[in-house]
Amino acid sequence: MSESWATFAFEAANFLLLASLLGWLFFRPVRAAIERRRSQIEGEQRDAAAAREQAERERAQALAQRREQESQLDALRERLSREAEAEKERTLAAARAEMQQERKRLEQELLVQRREQVRTAARDAARAAREVMRQLLAEIRGPELEEMLAGAACRELERLRERGALAPIVIESVEPLAPEARARVLSAAGAPNGAARERLNPELIAGLRVHTARGLVDATVAGVSAQAERLLVSRLETTAGHD
């Protein structure tokens, strides 16, 4: 072997030895560092993927919660709207009822006022009619009127006597009674002559007013006029009450 080939072989052997030594001393730690870095990157990627999955799950959960909250808010708004509408209807119904009651109250007040006005007018008309009747009967006063009133008094006394004894008796008249008239009244009352007491009353105008234990018999011009007044007032008030 020539010297040049020996030198080449020796250098080649040294290169291989140096390469082996460098591979053992340098490339192996680098390779290990690269493997550790690759493993770290893969771990970080797995962690990032897990984080993304967690974020997606949280986002989906948040979206579901948001939708649920929106649904609850919609239900709440609808319920509040229904309650507001119901409250408005209750308020309107209460206002209508109050207005109806106020209207009825006013109508009742107007009716009462109208009836009172009618009663007042009836009383005034009845008083005027009573005065006209009193004046008319006073003008036609005479034996015929006295006889008519005395007869009416006696008939009423006979009716009262059916209930029981009428004594004691008080007879009112404008003038002292004649014995025949007194006897007629006592006979109708079923009382003896001494069971009656007489009393003069010019305001009666004409006729007899007899006080008994069973009630009053008023057959006088004043009494007839007052009775006509009461009857007229009653009829006018009844007519007004039916309007």
Q: Model confidence over 184-196: pLDDT tens digits? A: 888 888 887 777 8
DSSP string, 179-222: HHHHHHHHHHHT--GGGEEEEE-GGG-SEEEEEETTEEEEEEHH
Residue 199: HSE in the Cβ half-sphere, 13 Å Cα cutoff: 11
* Residues above pLDDT 70, as percent of the chain: 72
Q: At what angle are helices 179-189 and 143-161 packed, to 10 degrees?
A: 20
Structure confidence at residue 232 (pLDDT) = 73
The band of 220, judged by pLDDT with boundaries at 50, 70 and 90, is confident
- What letter does residue 174 receive in the DSSP assignment? S
> pTM above 0.95?
no
Contact between 150 and 208 (Cβ < 8 Å)? yes
Structure confidence at residue 66 (pLDDT) = 82
Residue 152 has pLDDT above 60, yes or no: yes
CA–CA distance, 199 with 221 (Å, rounded to integer): 16
Q: Model confidence over 15-57: pLDDT tens digits? A: 666 666 665 656 666 666 677 777 777 777 777 777 788 878 8
Contact between 188 and 161 (Cβ < 8 Å)? yes
The separation between the first and the last C-alpha atoms of the chain, rounded to the nearest angstrom, is: 159
Min mean pLDDT across 33-42, 50-59, 69-78, 94-103 is at 33-42
